[in-house]
Structure 1
Amino acid sequence: MSTSLPVPQQEMPPATLPVPCPTAPVAGRPVETTTPVFDWTPVPDATRYRIQIASTEAFGAVHYDETTDRGSAVPLGSVLPDDVETACWRVRAEGREEVRSDWSEPARVAVPSAGLESATGTVRVEAPPVPLHPTSDQDPPLDQSAVPFTWEAVPEATGYQLQVAPADAPEAPVVDLTVDQTTSVTLYDTLSGEGTSFRWRVRPLFRVAQPGPWSDPVPFVVAPPVDDEERAPEAENPRASARIAGPATQAQTSTTLSVTVSLFAVLSFLATIALIVFAG
């Protein structure tokens, strides 16, 4: 009687891409349409994204699981059961040759048909988040291809709004996004080409109440990625310099030897003629 051994499950490749951060819809706030657009921060080298929507943070019963591009509209009415009032969703980045990121932290959204409770009696801290990074005395400047932002959490906040603006135009932010209860987000290739001096601020969001106060703007400086300077082959590898010089030296030596041999042959011929003449 033969016993069959369990077939080992194929291991997933390790996560090698950065984790995207959900930006809309988030913070448990109600959406204004039955087909909201789900979006997140872009990830370098990602060719697609996988999004899942469930009714709980455990994602035990996933109602939507699709591979898509950023900014995808999802009809919640045809995806979620009728009795679901708050949905949770997460996203991960995927690339070529099965590379991927880990799943993002779950983000929350109230479906349009949900009856929102009143904000009366809820605890709310009227204080802005404390910015932690980047700071005004950041040295050296941050690499503009990947700029991380972190701040202290505010009790009872269901999300946060982050703005980044040029230092000379604080009223015109180049970044204005919302995130869930996370207190950190990294912007990849977002500030490239936008300048070098910026100011950032953050404020808390609440599910049914108005947003909290903004933090004081924090100036910071970014710099382009440092590329290796193009170096001559001999600077990169002394052996390369020797190889380059070798054929030229060899050619020069061969030419000198050829001229010497030819001159010797001519002189020998003239000496032979002279002997014949004198002998005659």
Structure 2
Amino acid sequence: MLRESVWRSGYLAMCCGLFLTGTGCDDIMEVPDISEEEVVLTAPAEGVTVRGNAVTFTWEPVEDAEAYVLQVATPDFPNASQVVIDRTIQKDTLGNPLPTTFSKEMLPNSYAWRVKAVNSGYETPFTTHHFVLTESDDFSGNTVILNAPDDNFVTNQAEVTLSWGAIAEATGYRLQVLTAEGGTIQEEEITETALEVTFPEGSFTWQVRAEKETESTLYSSRELLVDLTPPNTPELTAPADERTTTDTEITFTWSRTAVTGSPEYDTIYIYSDDSLQNLVDEEEVTDKTFTKTLEKGTYYWNVKGFDRAGNEGEISETYSFTIN
């Protein structure tokens, strides 16, 4: 489909745009060819009947895939009367594995679902299964679909609004917030489908079930991390302040004690003036070392720590060096 073609073209253009004009993309990277691979669908299996208000689609990972395209239609492809789901599933920014599952509330009907794997140069064929969704025989067979935040959500805000989909006939919902050790720090019985919770710093599981008199569904759960602490200030190591060298290839190193929480990284800034206005280079670095080839002249550099929750540390002191 057009949307997936645009996604691949844009991804490749972005990669090529990072390099100087005149450098061919074929020289920059080799994209693994996945066009002969097959996406193996796990559930719902071919021809099954699913009972309940929601469906969880799962499939096996494809090596070298950068995204998956999930489509669900009724009654079938390619003669769909309605496309219920058309979603591109990509990695998050935290380095978690590419998801191979997706849940959705749906109405009783006959459906076809299909998945293909995509990277910046190739795509697999779609693999298709068919299933029938019917209402559950009892209330407990329903599933609460969690809406927000996403699973493995990371934030530097203590206040987080948790939300989920409504269940027909439910008289209320039970929300629990659990610590990484399994202890319950908050439990609420509410009739709404959203609640703002104030979290302390740490890793948590939040889970919701629907209730109707003496009946209840199973809990649906997600993980989140609240990181309120900024990274420590980097300490510059090399090149030493006011160093003079004839070597144009400069290796920058620094140290910084990590803070428990979300993944951290540093950004190095290199300037050609002592007022720090003329930025020569700015790079995100994860291993506290960076090598850059520079022309002769005097340069000024400093480093700042960040984390994936959005916290920023204090900028380091500024060192200078001269290349003769």
TM-score, normalised by the number of residues in structure 2: 0.32
Q: Which is richer in strand?
A: 2
Q: Which has the higher contact order (CA 8 A, sep 6+)?
A: 1
